[in-house]
Amino acid sequence: MPEKNEAKIINLEQAVEIKSSELDKIKVKGGNPLNGKIKISGAKNSALKLMCASLLTAKPIQIENMPVNLRDIKTLAILLRHLGVTLAMREDGVCILRAGNIKSTCAPYDLVRKMRASVLVLGPLLSRFGYAKVSLPGGCAIGSRPVDAHIKGLEAMGADISIEEGYIIANAPNGLKGCTYKSPVVSVGATENIMMAATLAKGTTILENAAQEPEISDLGNMLIKMGAKIEGLGTNTIKITGVPVLSGATHSVLPDRIEAGTWAIAAIMTDGNVELENIKKDTLGSLEEKLIEAGAEIEKSDNSIKVRRKTKNIKAVDITTMPHPGFPTDLQAQFMSMMTLADGTSTTKETIFENRFMHVPELNRMGANISVSGNTATIQGTKSLKGAEVMATDLRASVALVLAGMMAEGETIINRIYHLERGYEQIVKKLGACGIDIEKVNIANQKEDNNNASKNKDSCINL
Ligand code: EPZ
pLDDT of res. 385: 98
* Ligand 1 close to Cβ of residue 105 (< 6 A): no
Percent of the chain residues topping a pLDDT of 70: 91
pLDDT of res. 452: 45
Please name the residues in contact with 419: beta carbons below 8 A apart, sequence gap of 6 or more: 392, 393, 394, 395, 397, 398, 460, 463
pLDDT of res. 114: 87
Concerning whether 140 is annotated as a catalytic residue, the answer is: yes
Which strand ranges, in their side-by-side order, compose the sheet holding 180-182?
A: 180-182, 204-208, 237-241, 229-231
Q: Which atom of ligand 1 is nearest to the CA of 423?
A: 29
Of 52, 95, 106, 140, the active-site residue reads: 140
pLDDT of res. 14: 57
Map the chain to HEC letters: CHHHCCCCECCHHHHHCCHHHHCCEEEEECCCCCEEEEECCECHHHHHHHHHHHHHCCCCEEEECCCCCCHHHHHHHHHHHHHCCEEEEECCCCEEEECCCCCCCEECHHHHCCCHHHHHHHHHHHHHHCEEEEECCCCECCECCCCHHHHHHHHHCCCEEEEECCEEEEECCCCCECCEEECCCCCHHHHHHHHHHHCCCECEEEEECCCCCHHHHHHHHHHHHCCCEEECCCCCEEEEECCCCCCCEEEECCECHHHHHHHHHHHHHCCCEEEEECCCCCCCCCHHHHHHHHCEEEEECCCEEEEEECCCCCECCCEEECCCCCECHHHHHHHHHHHCCCECEEEEECCCCCCCCCHHHHHHHCCCEEEEECCEEEEECCCCCECCEEECCCHHHHHHHHHHHHHCECEEEEECCHHHHHHCCCHHHHHHCCCCEEEEECCCCCHHHHHHHHHCHHHHCCC
Instruction: Give 2's pLDDT tier (boundaries 50, 70, 90).
Output: very low
pLDDT of res. 6: 62
User: Ligand 1 centroid to 145 CA: how many Å?
Assistant: 7
Average pLDDT over all residues of the chain: 92
Which range among 67-71, 137-141, 158-162, 353-357 shows the weakest confidence by mean pLDDT?
Answer: 137-141
CA distance 263 to 420: 14
How far from 118 is each of 22, 76, 335, CA to CA, in Å?
21, 7, 28
User: Ligand 1 centroid to 326 CA: how many Å?
Assistant: 14
Residue 455 has pLDDT above 90, yes or no: no
pLDDT of res. 19: 46
Instruction: Give 442's pLDDT tier (boundaries 50, 70, 90).
Output: confident
Q: Which atom of ligand 1 is nearest to the CA of 323?
A: 12
Pocket test for ligand 1, best of 48, 154, 185, 425 (most atoms within 8 A of CB): 185
* Ligand 1 close to Cβ of residue 396 (< 6 A): yes
Atom 38 of ligand 1, nearest CA residue: 187
Which strand ranges, in their side-by-side order, compose the sheet holding 35-39?
A: 35-39, 273-277, 304-309, 296-300
CA distance 197 to 181: 13
Q: Name the pTM for this structure.
A: 0.94
* Ligand 1 close to Cβ of residue 45 (< 6 A): yes
* Ligand 1 close to Cβ of residue 212 (< 6 A): no
Residues 160-188, mean pLDDT to the nearest whole number = 97
* Ligand 1 close to Cβ of residue 148 (< 6 A): yes
Q: What digits encode the pLDDT tens for the residues 66-108?
A: 999 999 999 999 999 999 999 999 999 999 999 999 999 999 9
pLDDT of res. 9: 80
* Ligand 1 close to Cβ of residue 423 (< 6 A): yes
pLDDT of res. 15: 53
Residue 461 has pLDDT above 60, yes or no: no
CA distance 463 to 459: 10
Atom 22 of ligand 1, nearest CA residue: 330
Rounded to 10 degrees, the C-alpha dihedral 273/275/279/283 comes to: 20
Q: What digits encode the pLDDT tens for the residues 254-298?
A: 999 999 999 999 999 999 999 999 999 999 999 999 999 999 999
* Ligand 1 close to Cβ of residue 234 (< 6 A): no
Q: Which atom of ligand 1 is nearest to the CA of 328?
A: 12
How far from 385 is each of 151, 180, 236, 349, CA to CA, in Å?
45, 52, 42, 22
Per the model's pLDDT, the better-predicted residue between 4 and 405 turns out to be 405
